[in-house]
Amino acid sequence: MKIIMLGAPGAGKGTQAKRIAEKFGIPHISTGDIFRANIKNGTELGNKAKVYMDQGLLVPDELVVDLVVDRLKQADCEKGYILDGFPRTIPQAEALDAALLAIGEKVDYAINVEVADNYIVERMSGRRACLNCGATYHLVNIPTKVEGICDVCGSEIVLREDDKPETVLKRLEVYHDQTQPLIDYYNKQGILKEVDGRKTMSDTFEDILKILD
């Protein structure tokens, strides 16, 4: 079972990916984890990636694809895997398809966790963080015991710059520009599945299970 997860930042894609991975006993693979592991282990690919990351540059598609394909060859991926945060671009998607084709495999599903932008903005504007100890809260879902005060250290909690509506909207715009072509790409292949990410985590997960069954 080879699955690609798509979904806007804040749509809950990562959480769903983790649950699918647990349920089916397949690895949840995120590019961030692959980068960290390769850099930590000082692999050749990791060292190459580090040069770009240290300069605050995007790691080029070719190198990202090499890192991901290398990871997919590991033994734990035999039964399948779930890719989270990759591919991000059409060239990455095409390179992944080509690499899989070369070993007689293909992606089975691209699952898009669909949540309207205004809903994501609303959800994220409820986030609060403690800048002192790093604890995170949500006004509705994870409230503090005392309003406005961190449970852990007693500092004041704040709405981070990253979670402010204008920042979130900008990030969503970038996301849609980048991802809409991918959605079209997998739709043409007939493997795109959409689920409603506005439901509870559990209900969205149930919808995903129905697709995978």
Name the residues that contact Zn ion, by CB under 5 A.
130, 132-133, 135, 150, 152-153, 155
Angle value at C-alpha 139, between 134 and 141, nearest 5 degrees: 95
CB of 133 to Zn ion, least distance (A): 3
Q: Which is nearer to Zn ion, 90 or 135 (CB)?
A: 135
Which of 39, 41, 100, 37 shows the shortest CA–CA distance to 65?
A: 100
Half-sphere exposure of 103 (CA within 13 A, CB side): 12
Q: Which is nearer to Zn ion, 136 or 178 (CB)?
A: 136
Say which residue the tokens 């991802």 belong to: 179
Residue 16 assigned as binding residue: no
CB of 131 to Zn ion, least distance (A): 8
Residue 197 assigned as binding residue: no
**Residue 71 annotated in active site:** no
**Residue 128 annotated in active site:** no
Residues that constitute the known binding site for Zn(2+): 130, 133, 150, 153
Which residues are the active-site residues? 13, 88, 127, 160, 171
